[in-house]
C-alpha cells in the first residue's frame, strides 16, 4: 500500500469523543481515495493527520512503507512530501500563475528546469501559456486548476484535497471532478480527497470511505457502497432508499424475503432466518428497485414527486402503510394522490436488524 492507516485515532482535548476513532484503510499507488460523510464526521481531521497538521493520538500512518506517525514517530509536515489543495485555492494574489506554481520549486529546481516544470504542469491541467496571468483574471475553475498544478509541481508522493470544489457552482463541480480525475491519472498521482458531495465522490474516486462520528463505516468502490452497504448508516447515506419490514423464511436451499411488495428471493446473498429473531428484519429498497407497472397487483399512492428531468422521484405509500421511493420515467406524469401499480425488482437483497445496526452478514473490506 502507498498510504496505510492502522487504527488511527485523533482526540481533541476537552472533547469526550474522538474526532477520528480507530480508522484503518489502505490506498494503492496511483489510486484516488475519497472520504465522504456529514459535517463533523472527522474526514477533514483525518486528512490533516495524514498531512502532519494534527497529531495522532493512537494508531499509525505509513507512507510508502515508512511510518510517519505513531509508535513514537512523528515526521513533520514539510518532510512528508505531501501536496495539499484547499477549499479557497490559497493562491498568492500578488504573484502571477507561473510564480504561484514555481513557489514550491525554488529549493528543488533552478532556472530553466523550474520554468520547464511550470510549463509541464500547466499543460497537464489544460492552462498552457497562462504563466503571466494573475489569479484574479481567472475563473474559479481555472484558479482551482492552478492550485492543483502548484500542488503537483514538486511531484509529491501523496496529494491531499480538502473539498476543493466547494466554492464553485453546482454545474461546474461535477464536470471539474471528472477533469481533475483525468489530471491526477495522467500525473500518476496518489490522492486522498475529502468531500460531502456524493456525485463528486463517485466522479473522482477509485475507492470511497463513508465516515460517521469519527468512524469509517466502509471503504469500497462506489458500486459496492450502493449495492452492498456494510452498515445501516452507509445504506441510508448513499443514494435514495428506505428500510421496510421483512420476514425471512427458508424453502429448501433458498431464502425468501417476505415484504409488503411481495416475496423477494436471493438465496445466494441473504442470511439465514436464524440471523434475526423470528426471521424478522428490515430490507433496503432503493428507488431503482421499485418499478412502475400499471398491471402489478400492488398499488401505491403518490405522496410526493420530484422532477429530475429524465425521471421523477416518487414517494409512494402502500395500502399497508409502508413508504417506498421509485424512479419513474418523466413521461409517466401522475398526479399527487393518484394510485399506481408497482412491483419490486431487487438484484441485491440487503437486510438489517429491525432496530438498526450492522448488515447481516457484515461486508466491510479492509483494503480496496
pLDDT digits (tens, 9 = 90+) for 48-79: 999 999 999 999 999 999 999 997 889 999 99
Alpha carbon 356 to chain centroid, angstroms:
22
Q: What is the mean pLDDT of residues 179-193?
A: 95
Residue 356: what pLDDT?
A: 47
Q: What is the pLDDT of residues 157-173, one digit of tens each?
A: 999 999 988 878 877 88
Choose which CATH entry (1.10.357.10, 2.40.50.140, 2.60.120.10, 3.30.70.270) describes domain 240-352. 2.40.50.140
What superfamily in CATH does domain 3-232 come from?
Answer: P-loop containing nucleotide triphosphate hydrolases (3.40.50.300)
- Segments of the chain assigned to CATH 2.40.50.140: 240-352
Helix axes 111-124, 140-152, angle to 10 degrees: 130
Calpha distance 132→4 (Å, rounded): 39
Considering the entire predicted model, what is its pTM? Answer: 0.88
Q: Among residues of the chain, what percentage have pLDDT more than 90?
A: 75
pLDDT (tens digit per residue) in 301-341: 999 999 999 999 999 999 999 999 999 999 999 999 999 99
Residue 368 has pLDDT above 70, yes or no: no
pLDDT band of 268, cuts 50, 70, 90: low
**Is the pLDDT assigned to residue 362 strictly greater than 80?**
no
Count H helices, E strands: the chain? 8, 21
CATH 3.40.50.300-classified regions of the chain:
3-232
In tens, the pLDDT along 6-62 reads 999 999 999 989 999 999 999 999 999 999 999 999 999 999 999 999 999 999 999
Amino acid at each position: 500500500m502507498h498510504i496505510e492507516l492502522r487504527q488511527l485515532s485523533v482526540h481533541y482535548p476537552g472533547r469526550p469523543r474522538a474526532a477520528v476513532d480507530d480508522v484503518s484503510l489502505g490506498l494503492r499507488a496511483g489510486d484516488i481515495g475519497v472520504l465522504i460523510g456529514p459535517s463533523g464526521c472527522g474526514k477533514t481531521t483525518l486528512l490533516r493527520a495524514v498531512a502532519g497538521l494534527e497529531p495522532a493520538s493512537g494508531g499509525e500512518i505509513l507512507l510508502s512503507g515508512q511510518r510517519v506517525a505513531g509508535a513514537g514517530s512523528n515526521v513533520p509536515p514539510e518532510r512528508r512530501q505531501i501536496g495539499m489543495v484547499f477549499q479557497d485555492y490559497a493562491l498568492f494574489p500578488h504573484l502571477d500563475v507561473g510564480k504561484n506554481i514555481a513557489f514550491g520549486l525554488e529549493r528543488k529546481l533552478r532556472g530553466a528546469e523550474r520554468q520547464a516544470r511550470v510549463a509541464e504542469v500547466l499543460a497537464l491541467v489544460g492552462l498552457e501559456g497562462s504563466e503571466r496571468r494573475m489569479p484574479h483574471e481567472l475563473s474559479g475553475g481555472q484558479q482551482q486548476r492552478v492550485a492543483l498544478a502548484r500542488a503537483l509541481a514538486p511531484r509529491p508522493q501523496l496529494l491531499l484535497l480538502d473539498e476543493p470544489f466547494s466554492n464553485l457552482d453546482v454545474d461546474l463541480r461535477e464536470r471539474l471532478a471528472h477533469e481533475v480525475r483525468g489530471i491526477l491519472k495522467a500525473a500518476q498521482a496518489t490522492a486522498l480527497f475529502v468531500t460531502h458531495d456524493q456525485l463528486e465522490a463517485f466522479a473522482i474516486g477509485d475507492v470511497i470511505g463513508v465516515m460517521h462520528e469519527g468512524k469509517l463505516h466502509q471503504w469500497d468502490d462506489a458500486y459496492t457502497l450502493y449495492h452492498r452497504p456494510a452498515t445501516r448508516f452507509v445504506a441510508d447515506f448513499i443514494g435514495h432508499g428506505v428500510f421496510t419490514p421483512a420476514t425471512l423464511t427458508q424453502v429448501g436451499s433458498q431464502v425468501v424475503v417476505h415484504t409488503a411488495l411481495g416475496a423477494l428471493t436471493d438465496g445466494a446473498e441473504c442470511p439465514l432466518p436464524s440471523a434475526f429473531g423470528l426471521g424478522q428484519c428490515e430490507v433496503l429498497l432503493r428507488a431503482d428497485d421499485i418499478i412502475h407497472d400499471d398491471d402489478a397487483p400492488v398499488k401505491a399512492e403518490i405522496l410526493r414527486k420530484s422532477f429530475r428531468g429524465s425521471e421523477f422521484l416518487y414517494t409512494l405509500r402502500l395500502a399497508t402503510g409502508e413508504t417506498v421511493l421509485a424512479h419513474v420515467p418523466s413521461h409517466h406524469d401522475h398526479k399527487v394522490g393518484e394510485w399506481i401499480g408497482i412491483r419490486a425488482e431487487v438484484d441485491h437483497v440487503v437486510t438489517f436488524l429491525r432496530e438498526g445496526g450492522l448488515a447481516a452478514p457484515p461486508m466491510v473490506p479492509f483494503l480496496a
